[in-house]
Amino acid sequence: MTGTLATVPLNAGEVMNKISKNPIVVFGLGLVTGYFVYKYRKEIINKTSKTIDIGKDFVLQQKENLEDIVAEARENP
């Protein structure tokens, strides 16, 4: 099982290498990708915005925690 899982990225790389040599396939994949990005653009934007907000909240929380630790360290030499 482990050996099989280890070869999956290798096989995916080989498939992508074969696909990338045919410009018509690359163009078709671009069209399909563009269609789905356009179709789900609102959902993509919403998810991205939520992820950014969560990241900002996390950074602010960590900053507050760090400030508390620094203040505590200054009080107790």
Percent share of the chain, pLDDT over 90: 57
Residue 21 and residue 2: Cα distance in Å, rounded? Answer: 30
pLDDT for res 46: 96
pLDDT at 77: 66
pLDDT beyond 60 at 23? yes
Mean pLDDT throughout 22-48? Answer: 93
The C-alpha angle with vertex 59 and arms to 57 and 64, in degrees rounded to 5, equals: 95
pLDDT at 1 over 80: no
Q: What is the value of pTM for the model shown?
A: 0.56
Query: Would you list the domain boundaries of the chain?
Result: 1-33, 40-77
Q: Which two tokens stand for residue 14?
A: 């080989």
The tokens for 30 are: 């671009």
Would you state the pLDDT for residue 34?
95
Predicted pLDDT at 15: 72
